[in-house]
Amino acid sequence: PLAGADVTAYPLYGQGIKVTTDDLGRYVLDLGTGFYSVFTTSEGYGKSIEVDLIIRPNEIFRDVNFTLN
């Protein structure tokens, strides 16, 4: 886990939604139904590989983890 990393979700259309991980490297993104490309960045590391998510009504994703280079 990495504290202070930025996690950004880009919907198919519109602006990205960005949050920062807490002291334990945890984060919460409150996303509506739809398709999102999600990635993370942090100072001193490269951008992670994007994770594509399709969120259906009332669906919850837990433990979406990333690897930074």
Would you state the pLDDT for residue 37? Answer: 95
Query: pLDDT tens digit string along 30-64?
Result: 999 999 999 999 999 988 988 999 999 998 888 88
Q: 1 or 52, which is more confident?
A: 52
Would you state the pLDDT for residue 62? Answer: 83
Sheet holding 34-41, edge to edge: 17-20, 6-11, 34-41, 51-55
d(CA 42, CA 20): 9
